[in-house]
Amino acid sequence: MLVHIPNVLTAEEVAQCRQRLESADWVDGRATAGEQSAKVKLNLQVPENSAASRQLGEVVLRAINRSPLFASAVLPLRVYPPMFNRYDVGMTFDTHVDNAIRALPGGGRMRTDVSSTLFLTPPEEYEGGELVVEDTYGAQSVKLPAGDMVIYPATSLHRVNPVTRGSRWASFFWTQSMIDDDRQRRLMFEMDMSIIQMRMAVPDDHPSVLGLTACYHNLMRMWCKT
C-alpha cells in the first residue's frame, strides 16, 4: 500500500530543515547501507549521530505525530530516528530492498515494516530523482512537493532515479507497525477511511457507524502486536 501524505511539514518547517542542512556535514551514503544496497547506492547523508540529524529528526517526529493519516495508514509501534539524504547531479540509488531489521541507536532492534520518504526540495528545483516503488500494480513513480511524504511497504523493491539537474533533499525513516502484515494494514486503513466518510454522512450514533467502529477495534485486538 502506497499512501501520499500531504503537508506533513509546514512551509516554515521545510525552510528550517533546509537552512540547517545547508550547514550540515554530508558523508557517503553507503556508510549506512547493507551489503547488497551499498553496491547500488550513490548519494550523500547527514551522519546519524550528528547534532543536525538529531535536531531535525525531532522536527520530523513531531510532524508525523500530529498526522492522523500517518497514524491510520501505518499504525506505528516504533519509529526509527529520521535520517536525511541528498542526491546531486549524477547520483542515484538503484533497485534494492530495505533491510528487514535495524539496530536502534539507543540499543535494541526493530523490524522495518513501512518505509517513509519526506521530500524537502520542491520538484521544480531538480530533474530526475523520482522514487520508483514496485508494488502489485506495477511501478509507481513518486515526486512530491516539499513537505509531503510517501509511505510504502518496506518489502517493496524500489529505487531513486538519477538526478540530472539540481539537488534532491529528503528525510527517510522506517516504522515498525503494530500490524506486520501489509494486507491487514491496508484493510484497517480502508476501513478507517470508510468510517470517517460515513461519520460525515450520518450521525455518529448511527448503528452502521457503531457497527463498523466495533469491527475496526475488534480486528485491531486480533491483529495488533504491541
Tell how strand 83-87 and strand 163-165 pair up: unpaired
- C-alpha distances in Å from residue 225, one per residue of 102, 177, 219: 18, 8, 12
Residue with cell 533491510: 99
Q: Is 96 annotated as a binding residue?
A: yes
Grid coordinates of 94: 538503484
Q: Is 158 annotated as a binding residue?
A: yes
Q: Is the dihedral of CA 4, 140, 176, 55 positive or negative?
A: negative
Q: Is 168 annotated as a binding residue?
A: yes
Tell how strand 131-135 and strand 138-142 pair up: antiparallel
What distance in Å separates the CA atoms of residue 27 and residue 41, rounded to the nearest whole number? Answer: 13
Q: Is 206 annotated as a binding residue?
A: no
Q: Give me the torsion for CA of 31, 34, 37, 39, rounded to 10°.
A: 70
Binding site as annotated, residues: 96, 98, 158, 168
Binding site as annotated, residues for 2-oxoglutarate: 168
Binding site as annotated, residues for Fe cation: 96, 98, 158
